[in-house]
Amino acid sequence: MANVRITRREAKRHLSGLVDDLARHIDFLGEEGITEVACSPAIAPESLPVPGTPRKISPQPPMPLAPPVSDADASAELKAIAQTVAACKKCGLHAKRRQAVPGQGNIYPDVLFIGEGPGEDEDKQGLAFVGRAGQMLTRLITRMGYTRDEVFIANIVKCRPPNNRKPLPEEMNMCRPYLEQQIAVLKPKVIVLLGASAFEGLIPRDSPWITISKVRGKWLEYQGIPTMPTFHPSYLLRNPAAMWDVWNDMQLVLTRLGRTPPPAPAKGK
């Protein structure tokens, strides 16, 4: 197989993904009651150096790495998902859509924003968050120090619910596998859930009393990825004061990403 050239950043990211997967697998073995695993003598505890002891490093032949996912592979996978979504008729939402809206953005995003579903503008243009709520989201992304092209923006359901109603639980269940496939390709460092439907659609809840107002600003986890629920931009259009809560949540996101949060916006902006 021909070698694929990737950047150092992508290589580090790929390696850290492998380590995370391995750690999760070991956790899973522990949950299954398995307390020991076979390991190479090279990493057995007795062969690890005592702290403070200089390590002897002998030349080693280069180890073959697992083939990384190239930009072309990731783009092709996302395109294939989008094509499947465009032809999907799994739930009733396909009947009235102009076009499906799979989502768009960077294939290696720091942040994946997930909203509820396409509205009228999104249904017309085939792009996520391009209406008034989209403009609000763009302002938020810009304040965070990113452009829209540097993050990925998607929704829980890919087709517009009639009259912009909330998607039904069965519609979200039918559509969620597409989002799960996208997340597996994108491997975002952080997921931001915008509003109640994104939260309810992606994170199993123990109780219907756990609402977006109660969980926003608190770290959750989806498939090992830190996940921050916050209010939907359309809620901010109706309740501008909630922008302060959302901004606090995004500051937590930036800190988690190792970025210095910019100063809070001046009131009224």
Residue from 78, 82, 91, 250 touching ligand SF4 (CB under 6 A): that is 91
Find the shortest distance in angstroms from Cβ 107 to ligand SF4: 20
Cα separation, 240 vs 193, in Å, equals 18
Instruction: Indicate whether 154 belongs to the interface with ligand SF4 (CB under 6 A).
Output: no
Q: Which two tokens stand for residue 190?
A: 């952080």
User: Using the rule CB under 6 A, which residue among 151, 159, 246, 254 binds ligand SF4?
Assistant: 159
Closest CA to 37 of 48, 53, 23, 16: 23
Closest CB to ligand SF4 among 186 and 254? 186
**Pick 112 or 179: Cβ nearer ligand SF4:** 179
Q: Which of residues 94-153 bind ligand SF4 (CB under 6 A)?
A: 94, 100
Please enumerate in sequence order all residues whose Cβ is within 8 A of that of 196, keeping only pairs 6 or more positions apart, or say none.
116, 166, 211, 212, 232
Among 9, 55, 89, 165, binds ligand SF4 (CB under 6 A): 89
Helix or strand or coil: residue 253? Answer: helix
- Going 197 to 118 to 78 to 82, the CA torsion angle's sign is positive
Q: Which is nearer to ligand SF4, 143 or 158 (CB)?
A: 158
User: Strand, helix or coil at 86?
Assistant: helix
Q: Look at residue 114 and give its three-state secondary structure.
A: strand
Whose Cβ is closer to ligand SF4: residue 93's or residue 250's? 93
Return the SS3 of 269. Answer: coil
**Which of 94, 158, 99 shows the shortest CA–CA distance to 124?**
99
Residue with Cβ nearer ligand SF4 (111 or 175): 175
Q: Using CB under 6 A, pick the residue from 78, 81, 88, 246 that binds ligand SF4.
A: 88
Asked if residues 156 and 115 have their Cβ atoms less than 8 Å apart, the reply is yes
Is residue 236 part of the contact set for ligand SF4 (CB under 6 A)? no
Nearest approach, Cβ of 84 to ligand SF4 (angstroms)?
8
CA distance 203 to 210: 11
Binding-residue total with ligand SF4 (CB under 6 A): 14
The Cα 29–Cα 51 span in angstroms is 28
Closer Cβ to ligand SF4, 156 or 186, answer by number: 156
Question: Is 90 near ligand SF4 (CB under 6 A)?
Answer: yes
Cβ proximity of 178 and 93 under 8 Å: no
Residue 156 or 243: the one with the smaller Cβ distance to ligand SF4 is 156
Q: How far is the CB of 95 from ligand SF4 (least distance, A)?
A: 8
- 81, 85, 198, 236: residue in contact with ligand SF4 (rule CB under 6 A): 85
Instruction: Give me the amino acid identity at 237.
Output: L
Residues that bind ligand SF4 (CB under 6 A): 85, 88-91, 93-94, 100, 157-159, 171, 174-175
